[in-house]
Amino acid sequence: MSRRRQIYEGKAKILYEGPEPGTLIQYFKDDATAFNAQKKGTIQGKGVINNRISEYVFTRLNHIGVPNHFIRRLNMREQLVRQVEIIPIEVVVRNVAAGSISKRLGIAEGEPLPHTLLEYYYKDDALGDPLIAEEHIACFGWASNEEMQDISALAIRVNDFLCGMFSAINIRLIDFKLEFGRIWDGDYSRVILADEISPDGCRLWDMTTGEKLDKDRFRRDLGGEEEAYQEVARRLGVLQDDPGPSEVFDLNAHRGKLRNSKTSK
Ligand code: ADP
Ligand code: MG
């Protein structure tokens, strides 16, 4: 097999050149970071699970007409996506106070917000992804007003969908992060959802017990992060026997892990 060209290595994923122009391969690593990468570790099997969860969510979002970069899953850890020009903004959607908003504004974690809140952070690791206002986005030209209208409308639609999807499996969607990108068609561009949706970028609490089923287990040294990610996948009905297309080789490498995760339930 010929070597693929690596485009970028981030904290949780690696991007490779795709088989056709305008495509990329997203490889999901087990690496976990928190607090602007000051804390580093691994969550065994996370990449495999996030690849599956993100595939599932993006496919369903596609069905309800939320345009996104997902094309198809290639194997256990990789998916083919459309290459976009990433808009350097992290969009955070909050339903319930937790994490930085609780700290910054002194709101108890778990307090439902009066209404869904959209926040924007400037995507810049060196600056620690600072919170910004829409005025900063307009002022520095990170996205046009039109793009921001599309982004906020899409973020709200994704939230409505995800709240329903998770409540059906007894999970409360506290907050989550989205990234968007531009695709060009001649002189025109449009905005689509990119990156991933997984327990790495969502806060997910069990509705009955309040137990955290997301990356806060790693951030806060709660332990059991592998099991939490597996539990979300299990409830969503992903990570079943179906190995998906063309992953015979990869499947062998992960057979033991998959079997363990199944029998431990
Ligand atoms: P980071 O450490 O920057 O968060 P990740 O490990 O999450 O990086 O790797 C994914 C990177 O790829 C992110 O920087 C994200 O913005 C970018 N990305 C996600 N989807 C696409 C896409 N469809 N086209 C181009 N870049 C993308
Ligand atoms: Mg990322």
Burial class (CB in 10 A: 0-12, 13-18, 19+), 261: buried
Please report the pLDDT score of residue 83 as a whole number: 98
Give dist(CA 98, CA 84) in Å, integer.
Answer: 30
Please report the pLDDT score of residue 3 as a whole number: 75
Give dist(CA 51, CA 48) in Å, integer.
Answer: 5
For residues 229 and 44, is the Cβ–Cβ distance under 8 A?
A: no
The CATH number given to 6-83+226-243 is: 3.30.200.20
Chunked into runs of 10 residues, the chain (265 residues) has average pLDDT values of 87 98 98 95 98 98 98 98 98 98 98 98 97 98 98 98 98 98 96 98 98 98 97 93 48 40 37
- Domain positions in the chain: 6-83+226-243, 85-217
Any idea what DSSP says for residue 12?
S
Centre of ligand 1 from the C-alpha of residue 195, in Å: 5
Ligand nearest to the Cα of 54, by number: 1
Q: Of all protein residues, whose CA lies closest to atom 17 belonging to ligand 1?
A: 195
Centre of ligand 1 from the C-alpha of residue 259, in Å: 30
Ligand 1 neighbourhood includes 136 CB (under 6 angstroms): no
Please report the pLDDT score of residue 252 as a whole number: 40
Please report the pLDDT score of residue 263 as a whole number: 37
Q: What is the DSSP string of 202-234?
A: EEEEETTT--B-STHHHHTT-S-HHHHHHHHHH
Centre of ligand 1 from the C-alpha of residue 98, in Å: 24
Name 27's Cβ contacts closer than 8 Å, sequence gap at least 6. Answer: 13, 14, 15, 16, 47, 77, 78
Centre of ligand 2 from the C-alpha of residue 10, in Å: 7
Ligand 1 neighbourhood includes 200 CB (under 6 angstroms): no
Q: Of all protein residues, whose CA lies closest to atom 19 belonging to ligand 1?
A: 195
Q: Interior CA angle at 189 toward 187 and 194, to 5°? A: 150
Ligand 1 neighbourhood includes 181 CB (under 6 angstroms): yes
Nearest atom in ligand 1 to the alpha carbon of residue 33 is 2
Candidate of 25, 35, 195, 200 to mutate for ligand 1, largest count of ligand atoms within 8 Å of Cβ: 195
Q: Of all protein residues, whose CA lies closest to atom 14 belonging to ligand 1?
A: 10
* C-alpha to C-alpha distances, 3 to 11, 19, 83, 119, nearest whole angstrom: 22, 12, 19, 40
Whose structure tokens read 């795709």? 18
Nearest atom in ligand 1 to the alpha carbon of residue 82 is 23
Please report the pLDDT score of residue 262 as a whole number: 38
Please report the pLDDT score of residue 249 as a whole number: 42
Please report the pLDDT score of residue 111 as a whole number: 98
Give dist(CA 159, CA 22) in Å, integer.
Answer: 28
CATH of 85-217 among 3.30.950.10, 3.30.470.20, 1.10.10.10, 3.90.340.10: 3.30.470.20
Please report the pLDDT score of residue 2 as a whole number: 61
